[in-house]
Amino acid sequence: MSVEPLEIASSGDRAESPEPAAADATAKGGWWMVLGAATLSQIDPMLLEFAELSAMVAGSSSQAAARASLSQLRERTQALAGRVPPLAARALVRVTRSAEQASGQVVDKKAKLRTLQHRWQDLLICLKVGHR
């Protein structure tokens, strides 16, 4: 299994180019995703499926669309909780809750997604520390 480099679309089609800080943040977020995918695949391949489900739940535009994925996400959380260290298991639960809070049409979706991103970063740190 090879990891393809993450391509960030250029802003040549836009009238204005993004500010350097925004471009740096986008690149940094992309690297976190690449690092996260590599870490997850080394620790437990089931974590990649968990990551995909949490993204589907958080990115859904309606609660009805999120329900089916949310039940699968909860099942994966329970299954993974016994396979990872206790600190990482709590981080998995926090990721699940954050994904659920970001699902559907919420007023502050951007803030909820940012919280989810921070929860993922916490999970990656917990997995890295517990995997040693």
Asked if the structure places residue 7 within a domain, the reply is no
5-19, 46-60, 73-87: least confident range: 5-19
Number of domains forming the structure of the chain: 1
Cβ contacts of residue 63 below 8 Å, gap of 6+?
103, 104
Asked if the structure places residue 44 within a domain, the reply is yes
* CA 112/CA 49 separation, integer angstroms: 21
Cβ contacts of residue 28 below 8 Å, gap of 6+?
none
Asked if the structure places residue 73 within a domain, the reply is yes
Asked if the structure places residue 110 within a domain, the reply is yes
The answer, yes or no, to whether residue 88 has pLDDT greater than 80, is: yes
3-state SS assignment for residue 98: helix
Distances (CA, A) of 98 to 5, 66, 95, 125: 28, 13, 5, 17
pTM: 0.67
pLDDT attached to residue 63: 79
Q: Which amino acid is at 6?
A: L
Cα-flanking dihedrals φ and ψ of residue 9, to 5°?
-60, 140
